[in-house]
Amino acid sequence: MNVPTQAAGVPVGIDDISFATGSYRVDLADIAPRLGAEPAKYHKGLGQEQMSVVAPDEDPVTMAAAAAAPLIERGGAEGIRTLLFATETGIDQSKSAGVYVHALLGLPDTVRTVELKQACYSATAALQFAAALVARNPAERVLVIASDIARYDLDSAAEPTQGAGAVAFTVAANPRILRLDAANGVHTSDVMDFWRPNYRTQALVEGKLSIGAYIDAVAGAFADYRERGGAAFDEIDWFCYHQPFTKMASKAHLMLSERFGLDMDKARAEEIIAPTTGYNRRIGNSYTASTYFGLLSLLDTRPDLAGARVAIISYGSGCVAEFLTGRIVEGYEEMLHAEEHERILAERIRLGDADYYAMQTRVIEDQGNHSNIGEGLRRGTGPFSFTGVEGDKRRYVRRAD
């Protein structure tokens, strides 16, 4: 039995990290004609090129399990005592989606499993909770998974900012990728900028209000971070922002720089943020996972990061924001799997606009009992499948190899 020990001075942070996404993709240039727009509006205006789309037998659970499976394969389950599942794409009003993931991964019964929700922010809350658990007992590891599907009304202005993806990471003592700094800053205020009532499958959003709330909340979180001993803005090397669309990250960086009196122009802001946007440009909005796709993009594409201070900047509408930092660990390159991540993205199946539209408008008449692997339905290519609902019970399986 592991007995909690005093962990003063033991570094804690991200030890391994991986991602998964939907089996399909849509190129925004293909949907632009239907929406009456030029592709440049999305490529340059939003900073988006593609969006991932899930198959009918994929959901936040299947993506979460697919993201986490490589971590278990590489590091085993020993020491994992907690699974924290961050999502705003809820599948049940009571049962944690993480419990399904626990079963699909074959984790031991002695792993507590909890779902966390606060719009796009909750993965960072999970990171902080995980760090506290590991600091209490450095023999433990925590598995954190952020998994979401961003859906908006078809034919709406928000449709091109849809997406789907999951990021999983382990939090451990003496981490091999990112060592967390002690300081962090938070901000909470009641703002109705984005929400999804229980009776809707698509979110509702007040776009202009949400952008303003994002900037104000992140500025408030950074001010709190500084008051608690955090580094100055110009002492941070890289910034991984939440990216509902990638241009939001560079816009936020420029606005925050101006608020804190730094000399920053638009071109420089985009240059600093660009290494964090590669995956989000191709996946679209992944809500809770978005910030961590930004971190992964930085790790996978920018060389010589050892020793760099990186900011993780989370925003969840409604709203909660957090600003925290960490240092990239010497030897982190040995933990990267950029080729595997590129393979995942490259192997997605391209959907034309007509096929994508038909898939998105598919309606299941009987929500209580249905099969998601029936005749004529497109199936996903990932390792796990949502097979449908039987007697109001969701069913999942690992696909046969």
> In 10 A of CB 282, how many CB atoms?
24
DSSP E strand stretches across 75-177: 80-86, 112-116, 141-150, 163-173
Phi/psi of residue 320, each to 5°? -135, 140
Cα-Cα-Cα-Cα torsion 115, 118, 120, 124, nearest 10 degrees, comes to -70
Active-site residue identified among 242, 253, 337, 341: 242
Say whether 333 is catalytic.
no
Beta bridge partners of 394: 389
Enumerate the known binding-site residues for (3S)-3-hydroxy-3-methylglutaryl-CoA: 152, 251, 285
How far apart are the C-alpha atoms of 108 and 155, rounded to whole Å?
Answer: 45
Find tokens 């901000």 and name the residue: 187
Phi/psi of residue 182, each to 5°? -70, -35
Closest C-alpha among 53, 50, 52 to residue 29 = 50
Active-site residue identified among 88, 140, 159, 270: 88
DSSP state of 321: E
Which amino acid appears at position 26 of this protein? V
Say whether 120 is catalytic.
yes
Active-site residue identified among 49, 58, 115, 120: 120
Enumerate the known binding-site residues: 152, 251, 285
Cα 225 versus chain centre, distance: 22
Q: Which two tokens stand for residue 230?
A: 């955090």
Contact, 85 vs 101, CB < 8 A? yes
Sheet with 50-53, side-by-side order of all strands? 50-53, 24-27, 349-350
Enumerate the active-site residues: 88, 120, 242
